[in-house]
């Protein structure tokens, strides 16, 4: 224990000596810098600002390394770019603005400035876009967040960060919206309309939508993190959600033509799903659905299934390897029924015929001229299927 304390003491004094030497050199130099090193207290100041005409510009590309990016709207007639950062920032940390055909490019090169001391600076690039401009915006940052702070009407919007979060605070109307974050969350607080496509991908971070999402096709994908849809989704085409490690929750009333949701490690909770076809799968976690239309499958390896089937128009299969299966169907619906459980029992509030002495296999034909088949399977769990009882 004494040796550890001595080692820590020596390291602390060595660091203090290095800082002291740095201050001495800086004092002799007189400008607060030594090559790529800076010392002392660093505060945030405006480093650079510039205007650029929107004439002929159809695409805005923003690429930075360490800085955060903020996209804002302006009532002015020009793009306005403002950079904030450390008062001790070197010249190579300033952004570069150039024109490439119909593309306006704003970029910040990598810089190796190392600051020793107290650092209160926040590096960010603020891009103000005229409200009257309708074009495509692409934003990329290696180590910084991306924020969209105002309402926009755009062609396409692409946001990509390697280590940082993405946040949309106001309403957006775009043709396509694509967002990706390697290490950071993605959060949408207001309504989004993406006429063609919507994509939200993250490797390590949660995703959430607080407003109404309207899109032809919508994709949510995360490797490590949950997905939470608070309000409503309207999709003319395919709605797809997947999480390798995290739960998936969709609240409210939602519409889609094709619905696909997969979770490897985490439960699935769904509100009212008005869809034509569905594929819902969970490896480790339970599945709970308030209402779902259409036909398709619900399957979980470790967890139960609870679902209210609302006017199925195709066959429905519910399979649980380790857990109970509880289904509710419309009271007046005609359907064929088949159920099998290895270790459990089968219960219904309609007449069935058991196919085994143990009562763990059953079939039934409910109503006349059934066009829908409901099949339930449980390896280790009970099966319960009831027709809704009218109040």
Examine the domain organization and report whether 50 and 122 are in the same domain: yes
Examine the domain organization and report whether 209 and 136 are in the same domain: no
* Local confidence band at 11 (pLDDT 50, 70, 90 cut-offs): low
Examine the domain organization and report whether 224 and 317 are in the same domain: no
Burial of 291 (0-12, 13-18, 19+ CB in 10 A): middle
pLDDT digits (tens, 9 = 90+) for 20-49: 544 443 443 333 334 444 444 447 899 999
Count Cβ atoms below 10 Å from residue 95 Cβ, excluding itself.
Answer: 21
Question: Looking at residues 319-324, what average pLDDT do you find?
Answer: 96
Residue 41: predicted pLDDT? 45
Residue 343 falls within a domain, yes or no?
Answer: yes
Q: pLDDT averaged over the chain?
A: 88
Look up residue 253 and give its two tokens. 């009333």
Examine the domain organization and report whether 23 and 104 are in the same domain: no
Task: Sort strands 373-380 and 335-343 into parallel, antiparallel or unpaired.
Answer: parallel
Residue 211 falls within a domain, yes or no?
Answer: yes
Are 338 and 316 contacting, i.e. CB atoms less than 8 angstroms apart?
Answer: no
Residue 116 falls within a domain, yes or no?
Answer: yes
- C-alpha triplet 268, 269, 271: angle, nearest 5°: 140
Examine the domain organization and report whether 337 and 249 are in the same domain: no
- C-alpha triplet 162, 166, 171: angle, nearest 5°: 150
pLDDT digits (tens, 9 = 90+) for 51-105: 999 999 999 999 998 889 999 999 999 999 999 988 878 888 899 999 999 999 9
* 160 DSSP β-pair partners: 140, 180
Examine the domain organization and report whether 186 and 134 are in the same domain: no
Residue 197: predicted pLDDT? 96
% pLDDT > 70, the chain: 86
Examine the domain organization and report whether 68 and 134 are in the same domain: yes
Examine the domain organization and report whether 134 and 176 are in the same domain: no
Higher pLDDT, 20 or 161: 161
Residue 91: predicted pLDDT? 82
H-type alpha helices, the chain: 2-29
Are 126 and 70 contacting, i.e. CB atoms less than 8 angstroms apart?
Answer: yes
Examine the domain organization and report whether 179 and 112 are in the same domain: no
- Give the domain extent around 117: 41-150
Residue from 166, 160, 165 nearest 141 by CA: 160
Residue 369 falls within a domain, yes or no?
Answer: yes
Residue 60 falls within a domain, yes or no?
Answer: yes
Question: Looking at residues 123-133, what average pLDDT do you find?
Answer: 96
Find the Cα–Cα–Cα–Cα dihedral 355, 359, 365, 366, rounded to 10°.
Answer: 170
- C-alpha triplet 301, 307, 309: angle, nearest 5°: 130
Residue 342 has pLDDT above 80, yes or no: yes
Residue from 81, 57, 56 nearest 67 by CA: 81
Examine the domain organization and report whether 46 and 22 are in the same domain: no
Residue 119 falls within a domain, yes or no?
Answer: yes
Q: How many distinct structural domains can be found in the chain? A: 4
Q: 3-state secondary structure string, 288-339? A: EEEEECCEEEEEEEECCEEEEECCCCCCEEEEEEECCEEEEECCCCCEEEEE
Residue 7: predicted pLDDT? 58
pLDDT digits (tens, 9 = 90+) for 281-309: 999 999 999 999 999 999 999 999 999 99
Higher pLDDT, 309 or 10: 309
* Local confidence band at 359 (pLDDT 50, 70, 90 cut-offs): confident
Residue 185 falls within a domain, yes or no?
Answer: yes
% pLDDT > 90, the chain: 78
Residue 381 has pLDDT above 90, yes or no: yes
Question: Looking at residues 238-259, what average pLDDT do you find?
Answer: 96
Examine the domain organization and report whether 185 and 223 are in the same domain: yes
Examine the domain organization and report whether 255 and 186 are in the same domain: yes
Residue 199: predicted pLDDT? 98
Q: Which residues contact 8 (CB under 8 A, 6 or more apart)?
A: none
């Amino acid at each position: 224990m004494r040796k550890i304390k001595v080692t820590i003491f020596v390291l602390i004094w060595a660091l203090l000596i290095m800082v002291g030497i740095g201050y001495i050199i800086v004092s002799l130099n007189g400008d607060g810098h030594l090559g790529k090193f800076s010392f002392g207290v660093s505060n945030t100041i405006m480093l650079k600002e510039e205007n650029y005409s929107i004439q002929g510009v159809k695409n805005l590309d923003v690429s930075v390394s360490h800085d955060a990016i903020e996209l804002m709207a302006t009532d002015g007639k020009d793009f306005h770019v403002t950079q904030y950062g450390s008062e001790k920032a070197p010249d190579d940390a300033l952004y570069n603005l150039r024109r490439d055909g119909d593309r306006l490019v704003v970029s910040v090169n990598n810089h190796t400035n190392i600051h020793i001391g107290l650092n209160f600076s926040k590096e960010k690039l603020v891009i103000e876009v005229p409200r009257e401009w309708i074009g495509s915006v692409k934003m990329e940052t290696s180590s910084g967040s991306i924020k969209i702070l105002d309402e926009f009407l755009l062609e396409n919007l692409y946001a990509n960060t390697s280590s940082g979060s993405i946040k949309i605070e106001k309403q957006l109307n775009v043709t396509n919206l694509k967002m990706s974050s390697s290490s950071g969350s993605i959060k949408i607080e207001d309504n989004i309309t993406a006429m063609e496509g919507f994509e939200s991908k993250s490797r390590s971070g949660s995703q959430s939508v607080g407003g109404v999402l309207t899109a032809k096709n919508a994709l949510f994908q995360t490797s490590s993190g949950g997905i939470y849809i608070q309000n409503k989704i309207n999709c003319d085409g395919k709605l797809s959600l997947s999480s390798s490690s995290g739960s998936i929750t969709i609240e409210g009333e939602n519409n889609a033509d094709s619905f696909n949701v997969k979770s490897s490690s985490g439960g699935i909770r769904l509100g009212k799903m008005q869809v034509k076809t569905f594929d819902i799968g969970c490896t480790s976690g339970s599945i709970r659905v308030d209402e779902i239309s259409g036909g398709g499958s619900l399957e979980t390896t470790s967890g139960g299934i609870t679902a209210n089937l609302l006017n199925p128009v195709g066959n429905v299969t519910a399979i649980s390897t380790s857990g109970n299966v509880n289904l509710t169907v419309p009271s007046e619906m005609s359907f064929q029924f088949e159920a099998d459980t290895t270790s459990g029992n089968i219960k219904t509030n309609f007449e069935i015929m058991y196919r085994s002495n143990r009562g763990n296999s059953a079939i039934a034909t409910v109503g006349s001229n059934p066009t829908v088949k409901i099949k339930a399977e449980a390896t280790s769990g009970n099966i319960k299927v009831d027709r809704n009882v009218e109040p």
